[in-house]
């Protein structure tokens, strides 16, 4: 072969190599904040690593393995296909790349690699460092780069006529059965400028009704609140726990441990019973179907140095996952929202602005949304299964019913 032909052949090889290297887009997904272990049994623990495909693309998958102090065996699966691949990692192996396989074209949405332990392993995080995803399209693979493993929070801000002097805020909430096992969940219903209330799933055995009021003194430590800024407890209902709270501002907190049920509608009512000088008195009630929706007191608080001069402002609701189980799904239906003015006028709230903590800079999650079903607002988040169906800042509207329940507000003063 002549020298000219050799040079030409080498040039062609170099061009092909450079071209191919430019076509491969490497994405390194750390296990640290993207791997969720469903249980911690030494035999059979299951860990899933999630990533989001923004554009249909070809994929090549590898696992980065840490050095191993013993021989370990795992089963590897993709998207829960049950077509598991058995892999053995030998004792003494240094950091290596473990090929999983290739996919010619993968659809838009969340996907996951699942690792099931077989022998001599606590969780996959102990031997795997990252998932490597090579794609043929730039910016096709996205993942959570934040330190927060919980699902994104979602919020509704209800539209209220600006000149309304709102004394009472009434809402209803129903949590569907499909999220009954999703713990660390707060389905907040009655938020306002100085407090909030709603229902929680705290763990597998405990659920709560919540009502809390903030102090306007800016601190996350309730012990630092001066006496003239305290939130003072006036009264609480039977079985209700009350105390201080911090870490997200500070103030007075109350909750009732209550076995509320999914697929059941609960009612909440928040009111201002007095405005005097620089103080406001707030009260929170709940009602459940088991006793015909009789009102029950959660708590009544006096907020000193209040900024409440003419009534409630900024009425809102949210769905929050306050743990690291962002692989669970969370959803609630919010309905029959009414604002009642000091002169007794009922205003139906049918418009809500949607916002979320998810964004491309601080919390890269794409499994959230909101809308209207059967005349009710709903919000969902987490689980890596239902994709974003709304943008932050969008305003949605539910159909008006024109009908509200009857409440004798004067009778509430004697409710326990």
Q: Where are the domains of the chain?
A: 25-142, 154-414
Pairwise CA distance, residues 99 & 110, whole Å = 20
* Cβ proximity of 149 and 32 under 8 Å: no
Q: Of the ranges 14-23, 64-73, 145-154, which is most confident? A: 145-154
Calculate what percentage of the chain has a pLDDT beyond 70. 89
Q: Is the pTM of this model over 0.75?
A: yes
21 Cβ contact partners less than 8 Å away, ≥ 6 residues apart: none
Least confident of 41-45, 153-157, 300-304, 340-344: 41-45
Say what the pLDDT of residue 53 is.
96
CB within 8 A of 281, min separation 6: which ones? 234, 272, 273, 274, 275, 300, 301, 302, 303
Q: Span 11-16, mean pLDDT?
A: 40
Q: Is 340:346 a contact under the CB 8 Å cutoff?
A: yes
Q: What is the mean pLDDT of the chain?
A: 88
207's enclosing H/E stretch is: strand 207-214
Neighbours of 252 (CB within 10 A): 25
Between 4 and 78, residue with greater pLDDT: 78
Which position has the token pair 């409630």?
A: 312
**What is the third-level CATH fold of 25-142?**
Jelly Rolls (2.60.120)
CATH topology of domain 154-414: Jelly Rolls (2.60.120)
Q: What is the mean pLDDT of residues 82-106?
A: 79
43, pLDDT greater than 70 = no
Sheet holding 241-245, edge to edge: 241-245, 251-257, 207-214, 195-201, 185-191, 316-321, 154-158, 351-356, 395-397
**Is the model more confident about 33 or about 376?**
376
Most confidently predicted of 15-24, 239-248, 305-314, 329-338: 329-338
* H-assigned helices in 308-406: none
Give the best-scoring range by mean pLDDT among 75-84, 114-123, 308-317: 308-317
Q: Are 25-142 and 154-414 the same fold in CATH? A: yes
Mean pLDDT of 6-32: 58
Highest mean pLDDT among 17-26, 95-104, 315-324: 315-324
**Does position 342 have pLDDT exceeding 80, yes or no?**
yes
| Residue 194: DSSP 8-state | T
Q: Say if residues 231 and 301 touch (Cβ distance below 8 Å).
A: yes
């Amino acid at each position: 072969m002549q020298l000219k032909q050799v040079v030409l052949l080498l040039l062609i090889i170099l061009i092909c190599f450079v071209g191919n290297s430019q076509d491969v887009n490497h994405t390194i997904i750390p296990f640290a904040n993207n791997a969720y272990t469903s249980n911690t049994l030494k035999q059979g623990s299951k860990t899933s690593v999630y990533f989001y495909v923004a554009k249909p693309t070809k994929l090549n998958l590898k696992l980065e393995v840490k050095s191993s102090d013993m021989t370990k065996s795992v089963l590897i699966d993709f998207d829960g296909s049950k077509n598991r691949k058995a892999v053995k990692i030998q004792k003494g192996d240094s950091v290596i790349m473990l090929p999983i396989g290739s996919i010619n074209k993968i659809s838009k949405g969340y996907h996951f690699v699942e690792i099931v332990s077989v022998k001599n392993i606590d969780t996959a995080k102990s031997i795997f460092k990252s998932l490597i995803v090579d794609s043929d399209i730039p910016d096709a693979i996205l993942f959570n780069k934040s330190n927060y493993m919980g699902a994104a929070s979602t919020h509704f801000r209800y539209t209220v006529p600006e000149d309304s002097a709102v004394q009472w805020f009434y809402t209803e909430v129903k949590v569907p059965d499909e999220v009954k096992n999703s713990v660390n969940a707060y389905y907040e219903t009655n938020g306002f400028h100085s407090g909030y209330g709603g229902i929680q799933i705290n763990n597998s055995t405990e659920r709560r009704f919540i009502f809390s009021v903030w102090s306007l003194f800016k601190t996350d430590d309730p012990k630092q609140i001066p006496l003239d800024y305290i939130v003072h407890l006036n009264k609480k209902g039977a079985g209700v726990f009350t105390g201080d709270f911090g870490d997200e501002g500070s103030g007075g907190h109350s909750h009732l441990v209550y076995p509320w049920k999914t697929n059941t509608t609960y009612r909440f009512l928040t009111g201002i019973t007095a405005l005097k000088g620089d103080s406001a008195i707030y009260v929170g009630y709940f009602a459940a179907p088991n006793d015909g929706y009789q009102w029950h007191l959660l708590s009544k608080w006096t907020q000193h140095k209040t900024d409440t001069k003419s009534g409630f402002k900024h009425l809102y609701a949210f769905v929050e996952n306050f743990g690291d189980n962002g692989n669970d799904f969370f959803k609630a239906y919010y309905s029959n929202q009414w604002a009642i003015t000091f002169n007794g006028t009922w205003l139906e709230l049918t418009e809500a602005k949607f916002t979320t903590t998810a964004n491309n800079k601080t919390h890269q999650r794409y499994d959230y949304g909101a809308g209207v079903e059967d005349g009710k607002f709903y919000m969902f988040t987490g689980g890596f299964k239902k994709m974003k169906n709304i943008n932050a800042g969008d305003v949605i509207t539910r159909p008006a019913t024109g009908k509200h329940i009857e409440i004798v507000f004067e009778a509430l003063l004697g409710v326990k």
